[in-house]
């Protein structure tokens, strides 16, 4: 089932759901919609377990235990495994074994998107599930992009020329990049033209580096690494743009975290709503530390002091994730 069919038709949600395709933003929205439909807000925290597949040890056993637990003051429990597409073969087998034994009334959601790079051969969970579960396909195509553009414009109270909308729909950018560009351009308060779009839109490579930084500071390190690996597949020296984007974001956080901080410069004002809550959590001192770490990474990449740029970014990502982890 296509993502927007899931939204429009609101089908019954069975014991097993596989979210597949290639669009992380729609995947997140699908998972959010499932949680909202199945668990009222007042009992959601007590009956929802969310695991990150690649980083959770013994995830198969943990999922088996969680999905077999009794609901507490609710009709069901919901267990979500994020980033299953980044897991290794053996943990995936153990997770799939747990997925075969979901008790009636509870629901297991597996996020199994198309991996940015296949390090091992495995069968996708959607193929294994077949008709036994609900499959939500987030694959982005022209129709998906066009609807997403219209929805985003409506949310922003903005308008765009038909040609600008068509260019966004026909392109290959991920929806996060489209959303960011529209949020930025909507600040002008005028109808967005094709010229506006061509002048302000990020290049594909710049957008990926920016998304890497955004995912990392928002507490999604595995997603950040997946984006970084995609960029390295195109450019072996991608560490320069990745570290630069991260330093830029920490500089903005540092500014917002100062006692007299903000507002941000006009060209970054469109991001203030997302960054200010993170700045409050991180604080001025830690934002400065993050900025300095990213700058050191940038300098190492530019000077060639760290020969293996990919490893350097992995280490930088792990360090930032550990220091600035968002509370669960």
pLDDT at 116: 56
Edge-to-edge strands of the sheet including 48-52? 48-52, 78-82, 107-111, 16-20, 134-137
Enumerate the CATH 1.10.8 domain ranges in the chain, comma separated: 142-201
pLDDT at 71: 92
pLDDT at 119: 47
Element (H, E) at 185: helix 175-186
CA–chain centroid gap for 201, Å, is: 20
d(C-alpha 311, C-alpha 306), whole Å: 9
The pair of structure tokens assigned to 145 is 């992009």
Tokens, residue 21: 């395709």
Asked, as a colleague might, if the bond just before 263 is cis with ω within 30 of 0, I would say yes
Residue among 159, 46, 11, 31 nearest 84 (CA): 31
Evaluate if residue 93 carries a pLDDT over 90. yes
217-268, pLDDT tens digit by residue? 988 898 899 889 888 888 888 888 899 889 989 988 998 988 876 677 666 6
Tokens describing residue 235: 């450019």
SS3 state of residue 17: strand
The percent of residues in the chain predicted with pLDDT above 90, rounded, is 51
**Is pLDDT above 90 for 55?**
no
Alpha carbon distance 1, 202 (integer Å): 31
Question: pLDDT at position 112, please?
Answer: 95
The predicted-structure confidence for 114-161, as pLDDT tens digits, reads as follows 875 554 456 899 999 988 899 999 999 999 999 999 999 999 999 999
Mean of all residue pLDDT scores within the chain:
88
Give the Cα separation of 146 and 166 in Å (integer): 7
Q: Where residue 36 falls among pLDDT bands split at 50, 70, 90?
A: very high
| pLDDT recorded at residue 260 | 75
Fold category of 205-323 in CATH: Zinc Finger, Delta Prime; domain 3 (1.20.272)
C-alpha closest to that of 125 among 97, 155, 166: 97
Instruction: Kindly indicate whether the domain formed by 142-201 is annotated with CATH number 1.10.8.
Output: yes
Taking the domain 3-137, which CATH number applies? 3.40.50.300
pLDDT at 149: 96
Q: State the distance between the two ends of the chain, measured CA to CA, in whole angstroms.
A: 30
Q: Cα dist. 133→98, 110, 228 in Å?
A: 14, 11, 32
219 within 8 A of 290, measured Cβ to Cβ: no
Binned at pLDDT 50, 70 and 90, residue 322 comes out as confident
Q: Dump pLDDT digits (tens) for 94-116.
A: 999 999 999 999 999 999 998 75
Question: For the chain, where do the domains classified as CATH 3.40.50.300 start and end?
Answer: 3-137
Q: Return the C-alpha torsion angle 273, 275, 280, 285, nearest 10.
A: -150
| pLDDT for res 80 | 97
Range(s) for CATH 1.20.272.10 in the chain?
A: 205-323
Check whether 167 has a pLDDT greater than 60: yes
Task: Choose between 270 and 235: higher pLDDT.
Answer: 235
- How would you classify the pairing of strands 16-20 and 78-82? unpaired
Name the pLDDT band for 11 (thresholds 50, 70, 90). very high
317 compared with 189, residue with greater pLDDT = 317
């Amino acid at each position: 089932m296509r993502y927007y069919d899931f939204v429009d038709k609101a089908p019954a949600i069975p014991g097993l759901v596989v979210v597949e395709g290639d669009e992380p933003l729609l995947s997140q929205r699908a998972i959010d919609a499932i949680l909202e439909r199945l668990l009222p807000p007042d009992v959601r925290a007590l009956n929802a377990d969310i695991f990150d597949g690649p980083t959770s040890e013994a995830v198969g056993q943990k999922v088996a235990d969680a999905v077999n637990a009794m609901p507490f003051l609710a009709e069901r429990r919901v267990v979500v495994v994020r980033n299953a597409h980044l897991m290794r073969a053996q943990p995936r087998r153990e997770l799939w074994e747990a997925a075969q034994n979901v008790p009636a009334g509870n629901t297991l959601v597996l996020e199994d998107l198309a991996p940015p790079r296949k390090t091992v051969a495995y069968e996708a969970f959607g193929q294994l599930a077949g008709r036994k579960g609900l499959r939500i396909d987030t694959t982005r195509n022209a129709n998906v992009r066009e609807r997403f553009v219209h929805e985003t414009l409506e949310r922003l109270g903005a308008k765009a020329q038909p040609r600008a909308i068509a260019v966004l729909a026909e392109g290959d950018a991920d929806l996060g990049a489209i959303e960011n560009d529209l949020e930025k351009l909507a600040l002008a308060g005028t109808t967005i033209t094709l010229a506006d779009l061509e002048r302000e839109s990020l290049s594909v490579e710049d957008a990926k580096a920016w998304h890497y930084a955004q995912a990392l500071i928002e507490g999604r390190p595995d997603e950040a690494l997946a984006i970084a690996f995609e960029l390295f597949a195109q450019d072996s020296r991608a560490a320069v743009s990745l570290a630069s984007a991260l330093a830029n974001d920490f500089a903005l956080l540092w500014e917002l975290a100062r006692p007299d901080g903000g507002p941000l410069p006009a060209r970054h004002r469109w991001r203030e709503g997302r960054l200010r809550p993170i700045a409050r959590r991180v604080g001025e001192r830690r934002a400065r530390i993050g900025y300095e770490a990213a700058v050191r990474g940038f300098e190492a990449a530019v000077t060639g002091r760290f020969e293996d740029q990919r490893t350097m970014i992995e280490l930088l990502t792990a360090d930032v994730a550990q220091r600035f982890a968002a509370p669960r």
